[in-house]
Amino acid sequence: MATKRRKRTGRSSKAGNEKLIAAIITVLLAIFGFAYNGVNSGFGKKRAKTSNSKKNTASRSTNTNYSNSTPIQNPTILKGYQAIKVSDGDTINVQKVENGKFTGEIIKIRMFGIDAPEKSQDYGSESKQALEKMVNGKTLEIEEKNRDRYGRTVAVVYADGKNVNEEMVKNGNAWWYQEYDKNDARMQAYQENAKKNKLGLFGKRGYVEPWNYRREKKAAATGRTKSK
């Protein structure tokens, strides 16, 4: 009888061991499954974040001069200013004049709706000189539009009541910047007339729009960098 009792105990012990092993395997499988799902979840989030980052980068890469502009709250026409520096045919620095003296902050103006040839571009020097002639020594009014990504005030400039932005296009000393001043029929007419009569830069052969010139220059610089 004692022998039979021992055999039953052995079978019971063996069955208990099998149950224990099965339980351990179940726990290990559960742990492995949890870890696997966690890794996949993290990878998915990372992939989504990377994808969104690429989309944002692509969006930013299309930005140009007026992009990322900040609207000016309660824009007004600033009066009593004079030019203290002309950088090129569409960019000037101005400062308030009171009692014959310059006062207050210097404002850097990027002229709205026009794009002049770059200084390193053909007709760049002539464009700058044309703007200097129109603004130097004149009383200026500044009609603010917004601020661009460089912190410049994008504005229409008036010299003794005359719209300088329009005059620059009218005389062929700058391009109408159609991309940022759409549906301006008057500017379009001024530019078409300047082209027709070969005024200013349109009197030269092979003229290149400044935005295309900048793009080509940037592409060339990128190509040189990659070739190194």
Length, in residues, of the chain: 228
Question: What φ, ψ does residue 120 adopt, rounded to 5°?
Answer: -85, 0
CA 4 to centroid of chain Cα atoms: 89
Question: What φ, ψ does residue 169 adopt, rounded to 5°?
Answer: -75, -40
Tell me 116's DSSP state: P
* Strand residues in the chain grouped as ranges (E): 70-71, 77-88, 91-98, 101-111, 114-115, 140-147, 153-159, 162-163, 175-176
Beta-carbon count within 10 A of 5 CB: 8
Q: Is 60 a catalytic residue?
A: no
The closest alpha carbon to 4, from 181, 12, 217, 52, belongs to 12
Joined together, the tokens standing for residue 104 give 């207050």
Q: Is 110 a catalytic residue?
A: yes
The one catalytic residue in 144, 152, 166, 167 is 152
Q: For residues 51 and 48, what is the distance between their CA atoms, to the nearest angstrom?
A: 5
The one catalytic residue in 118, 144, 166, 167 is 118
List, in order, residues 6 or more apart from 121 with CB less than 8 Å away: 208, 210, 213
Joined together, the tokens standing for residue 146 give 């917004």
Active-site positions read 110, 118, 152
